[in-house]
Amino acid sequence: MTKEIVLEGLKKLLTNEQINVDADDLYDATADRYKKYAKAKKVLDNPSPCAIVYPKNSSEVSDLLMFCNQNQVNVIPRSGKTATEGGLENWKELAVVIDGKNLNEIVNIDTYNMQATIQAGVALQDLEDELRKVGYTTGHSPQSKPVAQYGGLVATRSIGQLSTLYGGIEDMVVGLECVFPNGHISRIKNVPRRAGGPDIRHIAIGNEGTLCYITEVTIKIFKHFPENNKFYGYLIKDIDTGIKVLREVFTNSYRPSVARAYSEEDARQHFYHFHKDKCVLIFMAEGPQAIVEATGAGIEEAVEKFQEGIIEQVDSSLIEDWFNHLNWSQQDIDDEVEEMINNDSHSGYTTEISADWATVSQIYDNVIKRIRSEFRFADDLTMLGGHSSHSYLNGTNMYFVYQYTINCEPEDEFRMYHHPLQTIIVEETLKLGGSMCHHHGIGKYRNQWTRQEHGSAYYMLETLKEAFDPKGIMSYGNIYYQEDAAKYQQ
């Protein structure tokens, strides 16, 4: 099988307009934001896909998957293109990107049953805009909201900035349709709950393109009360104080939509106008008036309990202003790439983990200490810190943030900086029993720890792959470690 034969085969399934072989677009499809610096500098060394294709319906997705399955062509499902962990990177000579661009229909908004059905390529922002017109919201608000699309959001177990009230995407998906490599189309029906065996939605949710292609999802929608929003902000002594207040709020069953604690370093870049070189704790209470009032009271009560760690309260309008400018747009992404093309230098990344309340501060301290003492290029770090931004009854996440001056060739950047830093974070997290990835997905550069992440339960993950994708054509390298592809990681 050659690229030419693959293209011939695709032409039998789709129109010419549905097949993109533009050289710039194929280069763009070669990697995602994990290698954003090397990509901007045009030095990627992994193969480009043969084509990007745009099916118009599930039937065409089915035909495409069967063709690729029969001919051992790697398939990279894509919609939104905001991946940060290598999930959209290609490691195979023969590969086809199936993009959800034409699966762009908002099928139904059902305010009576509080659910909306959308195809994979519908942008989250577009659905949100439609829902706002009728007083509803998706409740899903990742920073990538203006760009992200539903197929990608569901496939990566996305989470939004309001997750502590509305939940992660896995709490929102009611039902879905997905297509398997053998061409089989499965529809999981939309019901409030059922005890009909294991919850099979979770085979598709978070599969990162390794098991199936998600074509349609039905999600919950929520009534929206933005006029009631209340914001709270505090300068605090240390991040541990922030974690303790967060725990107090959540274990008392309050559900603010935003609840975050920032280290000094991270606060400096987010809250330049008021941080005073201190850690920052913020909340947003959202919903019907009575719930907002009760949530606010719960926040104030928790803050009062840990008063010795609270330095001062911040004007709430500053928090509101920050929140209203939080998302990044396609223009922000393009500007960042342009900056990297023009200048040899600065890049920033994040790695997100989760752990229970008892260990998350310890993980944070261990990671920071180890990076400072062990990371070979620690002198090049211009920022190292983190924040907790998604809390649960039994624990929270930690979003490590690091920026550095790049003193190496673009080809080596991820090997010298991002990956060694991520390695320390993952190792310290797994050592204390946390999860190495909270909401970005495993992608390709954390797959070497997937087995350790899941322990004896890895058997289940492995068996899913064998059952649904026995030829291994789906998103080669995502989630599952591939010995043959280690050259792209090391």
* Whole-number CA gyration radius for the chain: 22
Specify the stretch interacting with other proteins by CB under 8 A; choose among 203-211, 263-271, 387-395, 407-415: 407-415
Q: Which residues pair with 281 in a beta bridge?
A: 234, 261
Which is nearest to 349 in space by CA: 386, 379, 375? 386
199 contacts: CB under 8 Å, gap ≥ 6:
none
- Evaluate whether 111 touches 136 at the Cβ level (below 8 Å): yes
Among 143, 229, 251, 407, binds other proteins (CB under 8 A): 407
Nearest distance, CB of residue 318 and other proteins, angstroms: 9
Pairing of strands 258-262, 381-388: antiparallel
Nearest distance, CB of residue 344 and other proteins, angstroms: 8
Specify the stretch interacting with other proteins by CB under 8 A; choose among 14-22, 58-66, 262-270, 409-417: 409-417
Encoded amino acid at 82, one letter: T
- Of 293 and 320, the one with the shorter C-beta distance to other proteins is 320
Nearest distance, CB of residue 415 and other proteins, angstroms: 5
Q: Which residues of 245-270 are buried (b: 16+ CB within 10 A; e: fewer)?
A: bbbbbbeeebbbbbbbbbbbbbbbeb
Nearest distance, CB of residue 416 and other proteins, angstroms: 6
Residues from 280 through 299 that contact other proteins (CB under 8 A): none
Specify the stretch interacting with other proteins by CB under 8 A; choose among 93-101, 103-111, 394-402, 411-419: 411-419
Nearest distance, CB of residue 408 and other proteins, angstroms: 5
Specify the stretch interacting with other proteins by CB under 8 A; choose among 43-51, 54-62, 408-416, 436-444: 408-416
- Evaluate whether 248 touches 305 at the Cβ level (below 8 Å): yes
Q: Please state, in angstroms and rounded to a whole number, the distance separating the CA atoms of residues 215 and 202.
A: 15
- Of 293 and 412, the one with the shorter C-beta distance to other proteins is 412
Residues from 415 through 454 that contact other proteins (CB under 8 A): 415-416
396: left (phi over 0), alpha (psi -120 to 50) or beta: beta
Nearest distance, CB of residue 376 and other proteins, angstroms: 8
Among 13, 43, 185, 408, binds other proteins (CB under 8 A): 408
Specify the stretch interacting with other proteins by CB under 8 A; choose among 8-16, 406-414, 445-453, 468-476: 406-414
> Is the alpha carbon torsion for 112, 114, 117, 121 positive or negative?
positive
- Of 25 and 412, the one with the shorter C-beta distance to other proteins is 412
Number of residues that bind other proteins (CB under 8 A): 13
In the sheet where 230-236 sits, what is the strand order? 310-314, 230-236, 279-285, 258-262, 381-388, 395-404, 347-356
- Of 86 and 386, the one with the shorter C-beta distance to other proteins is 86
43 contacts: CB under 8 Å, gap ≥ 6:
409, 410, 411
Please give the C-alpha separations between residue 109 and each of 214, 267, 424, in angstroms, as whole numbers: 19, 39, 44
Residues from 332 through 391 that contact other proteins (CB under 8 A): 376, 379
Nearest distance, CB of residue 143 and other proteins, angstroms: 17
- Of 369 and 415, the one with the shorter C-beta distance to other proteins is 415
Nearest distance, CB of residue 38 and other proteins, angstroms: 12
- Evaluate whether 84 touches 35 at the Cβ level (below 8 Å): no
- Of 381 and 408, the one with the shorter C-beta distance to other proteins is 408
Nearest distance, CB of residue 236 and other proteins, angstroms: 21
Among 313, 409, 459, 463, binds other proteins (CB under 8 A): 409
- Of 396 and 403, the one with the shorter C-beta distance to other proteins is 403
Residues from 81 through 140 that contact other proteins (CB under 8 A): none
Specify the stretch interacting with other proteins by CB under 8 A; choose among 82-90, 251-259, 410-418, 481-489: 410-418
Specify the stretch interacting with other proteins by CB under 8 A; choose among 44-52, 412-420, 421-429, 433-441: 412-420
- Of 225 and 328, the one with the shorter C-beta distance to other proteins is 328
Q: How far is CA 165 from the centre of its chain?
A: 18
Which is nearest to 261 in space by CA: 284, 243, 235, 276? 243
> What own/partner pairs with CB < 8 Å and gap ≥ 24 does 109-117 have?
109/134, 109/136, 109/221, 111/136, 111/221, 114/220, 114/221, 114/222, 115/174, 115/190, 115/218, 115/219, 115/220, 115/221, 116/218, 116/219, 116/221, 117/190, 117/216, 117/217, 117/218
Determine the 3-state secondary structure of 400 from DSSP.
strand
Specify the stretch interacting with other proteins by CB under 8 A; choose among 53-61, 135-143, 182-190, 405-413: 405-413
Site for other proteins contains 412 (CB under 8 A): yes
Residues from 217 through 276 that contact other proteins (CB under 8 A): 272-273
Q: Is residue 193 classed exposed, middle or buried when 0-12, 13-18 and 19+ CB atoms within 10 A define those classes?
A: exposed
Site for other proteins contains 487 (CB under 8 A): no
- Evaluate whether 448 touches 481 at the Cβ level (below 8 Å): yes
Window 299-338: contact mask with other proteins (x via CB under 8 A): ----------------------x---x-------------
Site residues (vs other proteins, CB under 8 A): 272-273, 321, 325, 376, 379, 407-409, 411-412, 415-416
